[in-house]
Structure 1
Amino acid sequence: MKINLLDKNKRKIVYDILNIFYDHSNIEFVEEGDIDILDDEIGFKGRSYHYQDNYQLKSTLYNILVKETGYESPWGMLTGSKPSKLLQKYRADELKEKYFLSDDKLSLLIDVKNEQDKLSFDKNSFNLYINIPFCPTRCSYCSYPTLVGPHHDRASYIETLCQEIDMVDLPKYLSSIYIGGGTPSYLSHKDLERLLDKVNQRFSSFEYIFEAGREDTLDEEKLKLLKDYGVTGISLNPQSFNERVVKSVGRSYDFDHFLRMYEKALDLGFVINMDFIVGLVGEDAKSFDQNFEILEKLGPDNITFHALASKVGSKYRENNKMGSVKDALIISEAIKHFTEKNSYKPYYLYRQKNIISNLENVGYQKNNTAQHYNIAINEELENIIGLGMNANSKLMNGSKYRNPRNLRDYFANIDRIVEEKNLIKRNYKNTRKI
């Protein structure tokens, strides 16, 4: 779709609506386009459509493209990453009318809110995120600045990370601790124990989650280490149980080993989450059913279904690869039926730019096992302090801090990093209203 846009400041607004209907590679901003967007008028196929503000620009353009393509997005023209926040501003019927939401997505938003309302959050509480930026291989859909392969100096990273843990200004007791990445379970047993021991020296929390995403980086000894050091939950993420699809994105696949790790984690008493991706190339709606069949037998506490987002820096984006939009919509419906049938309730939801079929990422839980950290960070309900390369910190007063995105700068500037981070923490403490 070619767009002639007079006001370049409206580019993002227009792009977000176009992206609901067209792949990013098929959207062009040109001098002479299929659609002309002027200061107060949209021209399309010989007709003029007037608008007065940005909302009317979005809604008018959305309705033009619905008629042109025959596709109505289940999220309507809603493109924001945190749609649940809109329920704080609008009644459900107002939200549906304003953004053209489907009944299913509106119901999903309400269900998420109802689950979150059962839990308590304190805007003055702190949560800790620790980033481990190493992976054995890079997945084709991944755009994160991870360090791939065994040749990186992971021991030196853990040494510097432990230094940051020692120096950061945080209370002893935290709402939650989350060790993510990357693939934290890719650490050696020695480095893993050193990290876990340092965390325990400094902090405690009622929730302690460790991202053990890839079964090929796990063994029983690592799982036992996690349990011994107080980890309460792990995320074990197959992304798909389709061997061909998993290998095609650059991950190893050993289902028997996965089952052994899952059974050991169950025996140790972890709350277990599993991640799946809707929209991987080669996995259609029919083959995705295999995931439901296996999940029904395993019955993990939490399941997170991610709709694939095309991200700059990923091999998928470079090669313009993404699964079928039509199949993604069918799978989304199947997820609804599967989770309802198996008593899973949605408890957090967020969306991303360039997400397939304009869908969403949803975490489901059963037996009251919702993860506090996931809600706190996605709904921005509590303070988050991030440690490690590329880790983000965000406080409830709006202050933000991002650690360096590469190892060299992280190693070289650790004292300054901690000083600046502690400064925003002190400023928050001095200005907050209790």
Structure 2
Amino acid sequence: MSDFKERIAAELTAARSRSIAYTDAEDDLLVRQHSPLMSPLVWDLAHVGNYEELWVLRQAGGIAPLRPEIDDMYDAFRHPRADRPSLPVLGPGEARHYIGGVRGRVLDVLDEIDLHGPDPLHRDGFVFGLVIQHEHQHDETMLATLQLSGQAGLVRDGDLPPAGPPGPAEVFVPPGSFVMGTATRPWAYDNERPAHRVELPGYWIDRLPVGNRAYADFVEDGGYDDPRWWSGEGLHWLRHSRAFAPLFWRRDGGRWWRTRFGRTEPVPMDEPVQHVCWYEADAYARWAGRRLPTEAEWERACGWDAEAERALLHPWGDDAPGPGRANLGHRAARPAPLGAFPAGASPCGTEQMIGDVWEWTGSWFLPYPGFRSFPYPEYSEVFFDSRHRVLRGGSWASDPAVVRTTFRNWDRPARRQIFSGFRCARSARPEEG
């Protein structure tokens, strides 16, 4: 097996190890639905195996279906999450046996396949990148489900570096054009393509994500009670949800507390705020006299090297993330303190744009000019409906294989069970350039 194929095999193993770790629990917890927003964990477990069978074994390998009778049950577009508990899904033991059998055959296909041939599914191992990223995305979904379960002792934690020294609150990005998206990243999704040039006026963007202390100031200033800060849809969400603070926060004894994976702890004021929806992020930005950055502003600040006139894979360059650059891959079960990764700064000086929390932007999820669906329209195209907002950057729960400056995530603006936060921006005044 070539070195490239060995790297793919290692990535497949890493993703599967996460799936197994997050479902190493009592059967009752795995089959129960902890929120109508989420699937039972056992559905996610079998789904990643079924997806792998569909794309690697059948589409790329030409292998006859192993369990065609379960395809409908694990089709995410046929069965909304709220309905999945009623399906006759595979039990935990049967699901583990099924995905193990699929994986053995997948490695056989990897050993035999030509990764340099004309088939776009095969070329550069795209189909393997597809299933690796898909599984890591479901692993992050599993972590969100485990948080909603409220049970302690299921998710490991870890150590993180301390907060960084004080620095400027915002950085200036001068007017100019940059190349958005990619034409060269072999495992990039269709919605990241094609690369295209975008012209932007000058703007300011926060050096760091909005932190818990700043967000608590918004809450304590009556931010959730003042309709001035909320859009019409935001007010509707606010009244329906009865939200008063980020999800999992509560006030007691004169201080803020949060529940994190079944344990209650004081809210760390030096961390990026997490578990806020788009409406909350938008309201905070209005209160602060700011706005959310557009998707283009976010990407330019994250990964455009103006001096070299090229887009970077990560803010610091094309090297892989390391422990001194970003909080990724479930290093710890929480965001890192603000300013903890100065070595991960972008060329314009922003920090922590990769990892820690997904960052809401002000943009709808829409196709780039010249978009072409590949390898199936249900991954991206069906969500180009002006009902999903773009998030960028990945979270502490995102694997490095899924995170790059061009990666686009999206969700409905009311969602806050995800590991989401934000940073603010503002347009430059004429005298600022």
Q: TM-score normalized by structure 1?
A: 0.28
More strand by share: 1
Larger Rg: 1
Bigger helix fraction: 1
TM-score (norm 2): 0.28
